[in-house]
Each structure stands twice: as C-alpha cells, then as structure tokens.
A and B are shown apart, each in its own frame.
Chain A
Amino acid sequence: MVAMSKIATGNGHGENSPYFDGWKAYETNPFHPTDRPDGVIQMGLAENQLCFNFIKKWVVKHPEASLCSAQGVNKFKETALFQDYHGMPEFRQSVAKFMGKVRGDRVKFDPDRIVMSGGATGAHEMVAFCLADPGEAFLVPTPYYPGFDRDLRWRTGVELVPVVCESSNDFKITTNALETAYEKAKEANLRVKGLLITNPSNPLGTILDRETLKGIIEFINEKNIHLIGDEIYAATVFMEPEFVSISEILEEVECNRDLIHIVYSLSKDMGFPGFRVGIVYSYNDAVVSCARKMSSFGLVSTQTQHLIASMLSDDDFVDNFIMESKERLFRRHKYFTWSLSQVGIGSLKSNAGLFIWMDLRKLLKEKTFEAEMDLWQVIINEVKLNVSPGSSFHCNEPGWFRVCFANMDDQTMEVALLRIRTFMLEHNKAMVPRKLCSRSSLKLSFSRRQDDFMSQSIMSPHSPLPQSPLVQART
C-alpha cells in the first residue's frame, strides 16, 4: 500500500494537545440551560459573542450588503465572478480603514498592502512560507496560542523556539529572554528567521508597552530578523493602557521596514470566525507580492468581501461598534474577575482579549505539570468547565489556565461562576483531612494555603457552610 506523506500521518496538526481534549469533552456533553443543564460549559473558545445584536441591527438595515437580496443582487454576477487575488478594492479599502480606526486613527494603512488569507490561520502559514525555509525557525514568546504549533510548523517545516517569559515579572518579554532564546536556537543549529509576537497577547490578555515594543524592534533590527505582529485582538483592548501597534512604533524609531509584517483577522475583533477573513499586511514589497500569489490557496469569498466592505465602510457603524464592543468586554471582564476574586481566585492583570489568565497555582497538589493536568481533569469532569491548561500554551510554570469569558450569555456566565464557587468551597473542605495526615513539612504549606482561601469564602455571605472547616477537621 503506497504510503501517504509524513505530514499527513504525523502529529504536526497538533490536535493531540490537551487544548483540544477539553473541546472534545465539551462536544460530547455541551451545556444547554434547559436541555443539558449539567453539561460542560465552554470556556476554552476565544470567541467574541457580545455584540451580535448590535451587528444584526445593521445587517437588517442594510439589505444591499447581501448579494442575495433584491437590493444587492445587481452586484451578484460581477462579485461571483471576481476571483482576482488582489481582492475587491472596496474590501481592501474598508479593511485598511477599520484597522486604522481600531488604532485610534494614529496610523494609516495602505489598502495595496492588504493581502487576503484563509483566516489568521491561513495568514500565519502563508507568512511562514514566505519568510522561512524548512528547518529554519521563529522565536515565539511563551505562553502562546497552541494553534501556532500547527499553523507555523506543520506543512512549512519551520521550527518554533520559545522565548520563555516568567510570571515573576508578569510574563513580560525582556531583551534577556529574547537573547537567551536566540542563543538556544543557535546552539541547536537553527537559523532564526523571525520573531512572532501576539499583541494583545493570547492567552495573557495583556498588551505590550512602548518600551517593550521598542526593545523588540531594536532586537530584530540588530539580528536582522523579521517581526511578525499578530494583532488580531487589537479591537478588544477594553481598558487603559491604550493599545500600541507595531505600525505606530515604526513611525517613532529607526527600523528596517522590510522586516515588519502584521497578521490581522475579523474573527476576534468582530466575532466573525465563520467568515474566514484573514489579512497579511507587510511593509516588505517582495513579501506582499509573494503572499498575494499564495493567497490563491485561501482567498476570502467575494460574497463575504462584499458584506464586509459594506459594513466597514459605514463609519458611524464602525465607530459605534468599536466603542460598544469595548464597553461590553470591559463589563464582562470586570464582573468575571471580581467574582473569581471573591472565591480567592486571582488572574493576571489584563486589559484586552476575550479571556483571562487564571492563577490556580495554589490549587496544585505539587508544582508539576502532572498536577496541572490532574487539576484540569477535575475542572473538566467535575466542575464541568472547559478551560485551557497553561501547558498547552507552553507556559513554563504549571498552574495557569486560560478562561474565556466573552463566548456566552450572562446566564451561562452565572452558572459557570456558581460552579467555580461551589468547587472552591468543596475543594477547601476536601483539602483538610488529607493534609492533616501528611508529613509535617507539608503542614506549613497547607495552613498557609488555607489562609489564602478560608477567610474570604467563609466570611462571604454566600457561603453555605456555617463554620470553618478547619474547626471541623480538628475534632
């Protein structure tokens, strides 16, 4: 039997990662408020579902945006025939304008540098094909989106070398970390072709400050390597500090522009993952030219280009949408993080994204990734929440979890929070007998841990327990 390719039969698709296991658990038993109230709540999918009613109003008011309507059908034929990989001019112009508005109009984007791709997924692969040959490498700060392992490496043969970021300084990207990663790649005989940053960060939900960005620009210029800025969460920055895009920094520092490329998409900012609108924006003419040819493998459906062009050229709608979306994300984020803190769960301080980087290190039986996996199994199977373990994001420290908050309605959010609350209380109750039997050296850490949780939750008016479990245990 003739073999298939190694690419097809290998694991490069990355789907054996726990990131996807949680999804599978969700899929076999998905939560539904009435049909499946005990199902798994999906908190592992970074979707933006908060603004659909807002967008739908616009769609209803603008039937001409649909090629199928009586108002839009006069454009049907020419649009259906248009397969030019340059993309519809109106589409490029409206996307360029939108990208500018998302950055507070502090920069302008050139529609002629906009290249389409099959979502950001397709964009990343395409950029990798353009910038690197098989066996070469990109540096990527950890923790990073698990999909990169597939998107950048699978069919391209490119390697990823982690730039290890630490919780001790809130996972900031330091020049030291960059240099260390670069050296590591050299030692492994890997030629580094570029650095990929996600800003705002997935999974952290934080943005890079100006100093860090300048440091990064300096680093890539000095090493003469590319910088790929994945800015797909740019419009989800819901709070100060203000988002600073690579495109802005370029105007402020010396930089070889041929090294700069931005990946964008409407999947997160607008909540349109189904429409597959990915964008590669490069400041390098040769890359634009090559990427454009490659975009043949993943063009945006012109039916969708037409819809998006109509929508994003409506300035009032766009301005209002951006504001409204930020407002809703801010409120959801605030409520969620506050509720978690009420039961003693902290998270990395963040101002962007559709998720929080939850700190459950204290709940680990030991500081290992095995313990993280154990905890994660409990969260999926007992608490019935699909959250994503930090290890699937290549975090160097166990105990962190990415939890999405924008992909559900308020009621589901309340159910999720209730489950977390219940779990935390039960967990603390369960902790007591086990730990008392353990060796003395552990007793110390136990009592310290208890202090972190007990006072808060027992004092809370919502606690179902009449008295401290500590008291119970001693007797």
Chain B
Amino acid sequence: MGLLSRKVTCNSHGQDSSYFLGWLEYEKNPYDEVKNPRGIIQMGLAENQLSFDLLESWLDKNPDVAGFKRDGQSIFKELALFQDYHGFPAFKKALLDFMAEIRGNKVTFDPNRIVLTAGATSANETLMFCLAEQGDAFLLPTPYYPGFDRDLRWRTGVEIVPIKCTSSNRFKITASALEDAYQRAQRKNLRVKGVLVTNPSNPLGTTMTREELDLLVNFITDKEIHLISDEIYSGTVFSSPAFVSIMEVFKDQNLEKTEIWERVHIVYSLSKDLGLPGFRVGAIYSNDPIVVAAATKMSSFGLVSSQTQYLLSAMLSDKKFTKEYIAKNHKRLRKRRSMLVAGLEKAGIDCLESNAGLFCWVDMRHLLSSDTFEAEMELWKRIVYDVKLNISPGSSCHCTEPGWFRVCFANMSEDTLKLAMQRLKSFVGSITGNDRSHQELKNSRRKFSSKWVFRLSFQSFHDREQDER
C-alpha cells in the first residue's frame, strides 16, 4: 500500500516466531479437563497461577478497597481523576518496599527514582527510547525472552546483538562471550549502548552468580555503557542460591555514588511475582535522574490505571500479607518444579538445574533426528500437534544450540501437569522404542557430545530401554 508506516509491514513485531505460533495453535484447540480433554496443554505461558487463593483471601479481609473507599470514605472521584505520571505516592512506596523485601532488605530504593509503566513490556521499550538511538545496539545473553525482539527493537529501531551462552558451562555469561558480542557489534558498525540481562533468567530459570554480576560491572565500566537488569522474576527465587540483585553488587563494591551507578537501570513488574499480568503494572528504577525524568514523561503513553495502583498500594502495604505471600509462593513453586522435573525424568528427559522462574529449560537434544534447528522445529511440531503440549522451542529464544525447550509449570493445575508428563512419556517411548534410525543417530551423537551431557543421555537411554522391556 505504501500508505502505512514500515512498522506495519515489517516483521519486527516478532509475532511470526514459533513462540507465538504455538500459542495460536493452543488457542485453536485448548485443553479443558471436561470439555476438551484431548486439547493442547499450554506450557508456553510463563504465568503464576499457584497463589491466587492468597490474593483472594486478602481481598476478602479488606473490603474497603473493593468499594473504592479509604477509611470508609469514597475516593472514587479522586482515583478516576488521578492521571499524574508521577504515580500514586503510596503505591510507589509499597511497590519499592516489596522489591526491597524480595531482596532480603539488603538494598533500599528511593521513591524518586521509580517510574511506573504499563507492564514490563512498556518499561523495556521506554528504556530503549531513553538510552539509544535508532541503529544503536544492546547486547543480550542468549537464550532470551522472545518478546524482547519486539519490545526492544520494533518501534525504537534499536538492534539486539546476542551474547552467546552455551550449555558447556550451563549458559553462564563469560568475559569472552561479552567481548565477542561487543566485537561482532562493532564489525556490523553498530554502536553498543548497553547490556540487558534478565535476572533471574527467562528462559533458564537460574539466578546470576556473583561472578557473572561482577563480570558485568567490569564490562560496562570498561566499555562505558549502560546495564539494564530485568528483575521481573526476582520474587520467584524458590531455592538457593539466593537472589543477588545488581543493586546489591554495587552496594557491596561501594560503587553506589559513582558515575557507573547512574548507568544501571532495573525493570520490574508484578506480572510474574504476584501473578497479575492483566493489571499491567511495570516499573523502571534508574539511578540516573535524567533517565527518570525522561521516562516519567514517556510513561504518559502507558500509565498504570489509578484503580490498580490503589488496589495494589493497599495490598503491598500489608507487610504481614507480603511476607506470607512470598514464603508460600516460593514453597509452591519449588514443589511444582519438582513435579515437572520428576515427570521429565520418567520420560528420560533432563533439564537445566534451576532455582527460580515459572519454567524449566529442558534438554531434548537426544530426541532430535539431527543436531539442527530444522530437527528442533520438527520435534517441536510433533510435540505441539501430536503430543498436544505447547512448549517453547529454544530457537525462538535465540539459543545457539538446537534441542532445548522452555516448559512452564506454574500455569496449570497439578492434574494437568501430571497429564502433560504422561503424554510426554508416551511420546518419548514411542519415538525411541520404534525408530531405529533415531537410535543409530543417538549412538553416533554419543561420540561428539560433551562428557556430562553424554552421561545424562546415556543414562536416560538406558532407563528407557529397561522400561520398554
């Protein structure tokens, strides 16, 4: 047509990715225990559905909030009119207290440095608009959340250059990977403006180690660039090691009053930690007052509904509630993960050791017909259409190695999870039991795989053989 912008016709919205295609397939045939028991089970959506009863019981005990009241007085008008992009002071305070609590109160946040946004989606895009020009680049460790391709690049024109992490060291960030990414960006004539990490990681479900965090601090100091730490899963760290926020590292290294400090920005949201994605509550926390000022003005394009700010300021100010919620939520997530891992094991499938998030990073390399992304797609399609599980292929997360999949565990009932695992087990049984060429391929792969992977797949192969018999 030529009459619409290039943004309409290009693919940077990223929706043609398999990540989203899987969702579409799910929507056409969604599993329902009663109405559609043979439908597709959604395991590609990182939602936390485990703790709603805690939220609902809080609501039950706090009727004022329901009636738009404060101390018995109606504040409906006040809320309806409140459009100040500085946000509800009580809400900002409560949110920051919650964030501090999640970090074991080892850090304190300044309410003058927080900007409220319509979800982390908006926060990430806004930071790009503030920190980079069209054509500049941010470095991101792979694998990363597929939505970043849209959120960081689409309307901003900013590029993403991957920091390639591999299974050889459990996908940890290394100094050489950082440097390699930087050089690649330079060769493409891209000016690198910063690094964006997700900690805890999506899709890995792991928290960053102190070593990695120190590496990052050194790297951004050396290159004089920004660091964005997307910490939206910080409240889902359900087992050790404990979460270490970038804020803590700076505090421990006494870098808080330095110029580097001003280049660190945190993204937060209540979509994962409180399970409220529909309410669109995101935030940017920046140590640079100019970023705060600019982002605050930009937040006009996506403010948080005052109705929602009010509800959550009441809820998060209830410290008894937040303490209980965090503890119980962790417990439930931990248990759920164990269920998934056990189920995968029964199917002879291993996953990356993880201590956070709403998903596992699952290793299905041994199920590939060849060590290629085509084979990964082939396997993925079978899992979606035949096994009827929507899981997310590693390629959609820009993983450099084929065969990894993100599988969510907190967005369904226990029974549904069990069913999913049964389906998977049957599927694995069917392809490894009957397919000779598949077995031959696996035999040849054994020679090339690294030691620990070899041991794992060999082990599971053995188990399967025994099961078959």
Binding site for B on A (CB under 8 A): 1-2, 4-9, 13, 15, 47, 49, 52, 55-56, 59-60, 63, 66-70, 72-73, 76-77, 79-83, 118-119, 121-122, 125, 129-134, 136, 150-151, 154-155, 193, 224-226, 258-259, 267, 271-276, 284, 286-287, 290, 293-294, 296-304, 307
Contacts and interface: CB of A to CB of B under 8 A. Distances in A.
A44 to B, nearest CB: 14
A301 B130 contact: no
Contact of B302 (A68, A134, A259, A298): A298
Contacts of A300: 280, 305
B125 A304 contact: no
Contact of B305 (A4, A47, A287, A301): A301
B276 A80 contact: yes
Nearest to B55: A76
B301 A70 contact: no
Nearest to B10: A290
Contacts of B63: 68-70
B3 A130 contact: no
B427 interface: no
Given A4-B130, A66-B68, A70-B60, A301 B7 contact: no
Interface centre among B15, B131, B294, B300 (most CB of A within 10 A): B300
Given A66-B66, A122-B302, A131-B5, A275 B307 contact: yes
B305 A1 contact: no
B122 A297 contact: yes
B150 A1 contact: no
Contact of A304 (B151, B194, B224, B308): B308
Contact of A132 (B5, B15, B263): B5
Contacts of A299: 118-119, 280
A445 B151 CA distance: 61
21 contacts: A4-B294, A7-B294, A8-B129, A8-B130, A9-B290, A55-B80, A68-B59, A73-B60, A76-B52, A81-B278, A118-B118, A122-B300, A224-B3, A273-B80, A275-B80, A275-B305, A276-B303, A286-B1, A290-B8, A299-B280, A303-B307
B31 interface: no
A64 to B, nearest CB: 10
Interface stretch (B71-79, B236-244, B369-377): B71-79
Interface residues of B, number: 77
Given A4-B131, A76-B59, A59 B307 contact: no
Interface centre among A6, A131, A275, A300 (most CB of B within 10 A): A275
Nearest to A13: B297
Contact of B79 (A129, A131, A274): A274
Interface in B223-242: 224-226
B291 A8 contact: yes
Contacts of B155: 129, 155, 294, 297
Contacts of B3: 131, 193, 224-226, 258-259
Contacts of A119: 83, 300, 303
A72 B60 CA distance: 11
Contact of A68 (B122, B134, B311): B311
Contacts of B259: 1
B305 A276 contact: yes
B74 A56 contact: yes
Contacts of B68: 59, 66
A81 B274 CA distance: 10
A286 B80 contact: no
Nearest to A71: B66
Interface centre among A133, A136, A193, A294 (most CB of B within 10 A): A294
A4 B308 CA distance: 31
Contacts of B80: 52, 55, 271-275
A457 to B, nearest CB: 35
A47 B81 CA distance: 8
Contacts of B291: 4, 8
B318 to A, nearest CB: 13
A297 B7 contact: no
B218 to A, nearest CB: 16
Given A73-B59, A130-B5, A272-B80, A81 B133 contact: no
Contacts of A136: 5
Interface string B193-216: 110000000000000000000000
B290 A303 contact: no
